[in-house]
Amino acid sequence: MVNRSPIPVVDMPLKIVVLLSGEGTLLQSFINRQQSGLPIEIVAVISNRPNVGGLARAQKAEIPAHEIDHKLFPDRPTFEAALIKLIDFYKPDLIVLAGFMRILGEQFVDHYQGKLINIHPALLPKYKGLDTHRRAIEAGDTEHGSSVHLVTSELDGGPVIAQIKLPILPGDTAETLTERTKQKEHLLYPEVLRWIAEKRLVLATGTPCCDGAPLKSPVILEPDSEG
């Protein structure tokens, strides 16, 4: 998967909508890579929280930026219906969760089956849910990492597409490990978008297929440097 020759021909850029809830550092990695030739087009950025840094990053890059504050809706289905309406206006090829801190219900996930991906800061299936860095340290793990997976109705339970690993260093805290893992995510997530844009990775069947064959285990991205 990481062998980039021959270079596939991309007829049209992959149109993505990015969902986020915070500062948007992952979004910034997409923007930077798009500007340097990654064959994607970020058609919209949507936050479920108002006035977050991710919206400012989108506006600076002249990307349509929207906030749909989930607190203003009476329940999850109503919020998700509004979110679906806005996303569908942009007709994206893929919906990318990038620090979107809101559990999505079955109605939403089913609507975008095979078109919805997320990144989780752990080597799934380990450490689903929150506090992954602290849990990995407390368990005595020697390595940690991040996983990009297809979203299903099971929390952090969809098929894992790709992972990137890093060592847990002596003296690591949850805070230092969080920061080091984020740096690896900025390598991993844009690369997965590249594979999808180049049609080397196909998700629509519900079972990810890589280079024409079902993906039996996650692709392990080897970063240029470890640590």
Smallest Cα–Cα separation from 95: which of 158, 43, 49?
43
* Per-residue burial over 67-86, b = 16 or more CB atoms within 10 Å of its CB, e = otherwise: ebebeebeeeeebbeebeee
Q: What is the 3-state secondary structure (H, E, C) of 120-137?
A: ECCCCCCCCCCCHHHHHH
Query: Which string of DSSP letters, residue by residue, matches 141-209?
Result: -SEEEEEEEE--SSTT-SPEEEEEEEEPPTT--HHHHHHHHHHHHHHHHHHHHHHHHTTSEE-TTSS-E
Q: Is 66 a catalytic residue?
A: no
* Per-residue burial over 144-176, b = 16 or more CB atoms within 10 Å of its CB, e = otherwise: bbbbbbbbbeeebebbbbbbbbbebeeebeeee
CB 26 within 8 A of CB 186: yes
Question: CA-to-CA distance for 170 and 172, rounded, in angstroms?
Answer: 6
Which is catalytic among the residues 66, 111, 120, 133? 120
Q: What is the set of active-site residues?
A: 120
